[in-house]
Amino acid sequence: MRTQVAIIGAGPAGLLLAHLLHLDGIESVVIEARSQHYAENRIRAGVLEHHVVDVLDQTGLGARMHREGLRHEGTGLLFGGKLHRIDFQALVGQSVMVYGQHEVVRDLIAARQAAGAPLLFECADVLVSGFQGGSPEVRFTQGGQAHTLHCDVIAGCDGFHGVCRPALPPGSWRGYDRVYPFGWLGILADAPPSAEELIYANHERGFALCSQRSPTVQRLYLQCAPDEEVEAWSDDRIWSELGTRLACDGFQLRTGRIFQKGVTPMRSYVAEPMQCGRLFLAGDAAHIVPPTGAKGMNSAVADVLLLSRAIGRWYGSGDDAGLEGYSAAALRRIWKVQRFSWWMTTLFHRFDGASDFDRRVQLAELDYVVGSREASAALAENYVGLPLT
C-alpha cells in the first residue's frame, strides 16, 4: 500500500487532518485501532472555540453543528453563593459553541466516507518506522491480514496511550507532566439545561460544573477523588451534591434520569518536541490538559491546522520550513493553553492541605476576575480561543 500521508488515529485530530489534506488534494490513509461505533460514540468535551467553529464552517463541516449546537456568548462563575456572568460578546466580541466531540467525529467520518477516501477501523499491531530516514512506513493487521503502508509523512494522532509518541527515539524528546490530586465525576442526564450557559462553581465542598450537550441532555461534573468508585455515587447522592455546590439565588437544578457516569483523572502533559524526522504528533498524542479550560479538542484542531498547511506547502513548493518548524510553532500556543487550563483548575478546585489563607487568596482572585473588566476580558479571550496559528 502507498499513500502520501499516513494518519494514525481517527479522533478529531486525525480525521480533521485527513479532511484538510483532502481539500488540498493530498492523499492520506487513516488507521484506527477501534471500531467506527466506538469512535462515533466516545463522549468527550464539547465546547468549541470561536476560531474552531470558523474552521469547521470554512471546510464544509458546520451545517449540523449550527442546527444542533448551542451558541454561548458568556459563562457563569459561582463562588460565595453568588453567580457572576463573564460576557464574551461584550468583552471580546466572540462566542463559543457547545457541540459534543463525538458529534464532530461523526461529521468528519461522514465527510471522509462521502469522499471515498481510505478510513480503516479495527486495525491491530500498529507499528511506525522509517521516519528518521527517507522511508516512513506503518505496519498493521486488519481482519487477520498483515499490511505495510508506505508514505512520505506519518501523523501521530492516536491519543495519549497510542503507539506514536513511544516510537520516538529515547533521548529525542521530553515529557512535562503534572498530575492533580482530584478527578471529575461526570454524568449525562435526560434533563433540559438548568442554565443557558455553563456555570463553573467554586464551593467549600469542591468544584462543580453545570454544562449542556443538547436542549434535552445535561452534562454535569463534581470534583472527587481521582480513584473514586462510581458505584459509591447513587443518583440521589449526585443530585444532592450538585444542588449543594451549585446553589445560588435564581438557580434551579433540573434533574432527570442519569444514563452515564464516569470518573476522569486530571493531568497536564506536554511532549516536546512534537516531531522526529517525518513523524509528527498532534492532539492528545502530544499534550493533555485538564478539562476545566475546555481546550482538549480545540488544541488538536490548532495542531492539525498548522500541520496541514506545512504539509501542503511542502508538496506544493518543496518548502519544508513549515514542517521543520511545526513543533516550535505548535508549542508556543500549547503552553499558553496549558497555562490557562492550569489557572482555571487552580482557581476553582479545593486542594488537600490548602490552608485558610490559601482559600481566602483563591476567593480574592475570583473576586478580582469578576470585578475587573481587564481581568474578565483576559479570561474571555482565552476561553473563546487564542488564534489557532
Residue 38: active-site member: no
Q: How many CB atoms lie within 10 A of CB 375?
A: 16
Query: Order of strands across the sheet with 28-31?
Result: 119-120, 28-31, 5-8, 153-156, 279-281, 275-276
Q: Check for a shared fold between 5-72+91-177+267-344 and 180-263+351-384.
A: no
For residue 204, what are the CA distances in angstroms to 60, 78, 81, 233?
Answer: 45, 12, 10, 19
User: Which residue of the set 72, 102, 203, 287 is catalytic?
Assistant: 72
- The 10s digit of each residue's pLDDT in 134-166 is 899 999 999 999 999 999 999 999 999 999 999
pLDDT, residue 134, reads 84
Q: Residues of the chain with pLDDT > 90: what percent? A: 96
Residue with cell 482565552: 382
- The 10s digit of each residue's pLDDT in 166-190 is 999 999 999 999 999 999 999 999 9
pLDDT, residue 82, reads 97
User: Which residue of the set 50, 287, 295, 349 is catalytic?
Assistant: 295
* Averaged pLDDT for residues 26-54: 93
Task: Report residue 40's pLDDT band, with 50, 70 and 90 as the boundaries.
Answer: very high
User: Which residue of the set 291, 315, 326, 349 is catalytic?
Assistant: 291
* Averaged pLDDT for residues 201-214: 95
Residue 150: active-site member: no
CATH code of 5-72+91-177+267-344, in short, is 3.50.50.60
| CA separation for the pair 74, 295 (Å, rounded) | 16
Task: Report residue 222's pLDDT band, with 50, 70 and 90 as the boundaries.
Answer: very high
Residue 181: active-site member: no
pLDDT, residue 324, reads 97
Average of per-residue pLDDT values in the chain: 96
Residue 82: active-site member: no
Residue 261: active-site member: no
- What lies within 8 Å, CB to CB, of 368 at 6+ separation is 375
Give the lowest-confidence range in 31-45, 258-272, 281-295, 350-364.
31-45
Task: Report residue 214's pLDDT band, with 50, 70 and 90 as the boundaries.
Answer: confident
Alpha-carbon dihedral 36, 40, 42, 47, rounded to 10 degrees:
150
Q: Where are the domains of the chain?
A: 5-72+91-177+267-344, 180-263+351-384
pLDDT, residue 44, reads 74
CATH (one of 3.40.190.10, 3.30.9.10, 3.90.550.10, 3.10.20.30) for 180-263+351-384: 3.30.9.10
Sign of the alpha-carbon dihedral angle for 116, 122, 125, 127: positive
Q: What are phi and psi of 300, to 5 degrees?
A: -65, -40
- Per the DSSP assignment, residues forming a β-bridge with 47 are 98
Task: Report residue 42's pLDDT band, with 50, 70 and 90 as the boundaries.
Answer: confident
